[in-house]
Structure 1
Amino acid sequence: MTKQTYQLRNEQILSNAINHLRNTPLNPDKPYFVTIQEATRSLSQNAKLWACLTDISQQVVWYGQRLSTEDWKNILTAGLKGQRSAPGINGGFVVLGQSTSRMTVGEMSELIEMMSAFGTEQGVRWSDESRQALEWARRFGETKRAA
């Protein structure tokens, strides 16, 4: 059997998924797995994330230094999920963030809201790209707060 994925958006799709499950043969030697999970981040959320990270990295000096977009992504995801750190291999500490590609739409929305608030507090002037990405995300209900 090939892999089947259903995006449960309405009753008809749910019914199709249930029918597929009912027609799946049971075999203890060759079991199937069923996973139900919230959708991961959208392409428009990802565009918003990187546009805002770029604006922040170009405009915010953090404790005397400019940080890369990747550095900011680590700091902001750690801020969202609670800071975790681990000793570095050659000394120091490494802040452990979360992979944004594994975030749900809801988690990414929270990150974008937090990032927008942080940037605004830091006086970031949002680029046209950031504003356009936010407008795209708002149209599809993927974030609540404006930059």
Structure 2
Amino acid sequence: MEKQRYTIVNPQVRQNAIRALMALPDGHTATFAPPTRSGGQNDFFHSICSDIAKSGFEWAGKPRKPEEWKVLLVSGHTKATQGEVEFVPGLEGEFVNIRESTARMSVKRAASLLEYALAWCADHHIPLTDTRRQGYLMEAA
């Protein structure tokens, strides 16, 4: 049997999911979960990270790449929202931030991360040129 996934958006889809569940043979697994962050939220967040990198803003003495800004923003957001930030020794003696996964964030949590990132950019006067050009921000900065 192929993997099936149902996003419950109306009663008909709910009934289809129930029928599929009832037809499962013993030993199969059914998982129910809240929605995770949307592709649009993911794209929006990555555009913010790219804009910060393109701005040349320095952190810890040097400009950072978009993927580094992602780690910094996710870690900062976790700390700002009283989440657990944990640093552990890495495999080669470096220190690693065991951070929250953006792919597993709920829609609400991802919205909070976006709000945090936008506020951080505003506080640091980061121009969000590409983010605005891609249609994520409509108001003038």
TM-score, length-scaled by structure 2: 0.78
- Residue by residue over 1:25-55, the C-alpha shift from the partner in whole angstroms, topping out at 9 and shown as x without a partner, is 4x3xxx1111011233322222211110011
**Runs of 4+ off more than 3 Å:** 88-92
- Residue by residue over 1:45-78, the C-alpha shift from the partner in whole angstroms, topping out at 9 and shown as x without a partner, is 2221111001112332224321221111111112
The gaps in structure 2 that reach 5 residues or longer are: none
Are positions 1:67 and 2:64 aligned together?
yes
When residues 57 and 46 of structure 1 are mapped into structure 2, their CA distance, relative to the original with a 3 A threshold, is same
- Residue by residue over 1:68-124, the C-alpha shift from the partner in whole angstroms, topping out at 9 and shown as x without a partner, is 211111111122233221224555533232332232322221111111111111111
When residues 3 and 88 of structure 1 are mapped into structure 2, their CA distance, relative to the original with a 3 A threshold, is closer
Alignment partner of 1:111 out of 107, 110, 113 = 113
Question: 3-state DSSP class of the match of 1:109?
Answer: helix
When residues 90 and 7 of structure 1 are mapped into structure 2, their CA distance, relative to the original with a 3 A threshold, is closer
Question: 3-state DSSP class of the match of 1:85?
Answer: strand
What is the one-letter code of the residue matched to 1:49?
A: F
Residue 45 of structure 1 is matched in structure 2 by: 41
Question: 3-state DSSP class of the match of 2:120?
Answer: helix
Residue 103 of structure 2 is matched in structure 1 by: 101
The gaps in structure 1 that reach 5 residues or longer are: 137-145
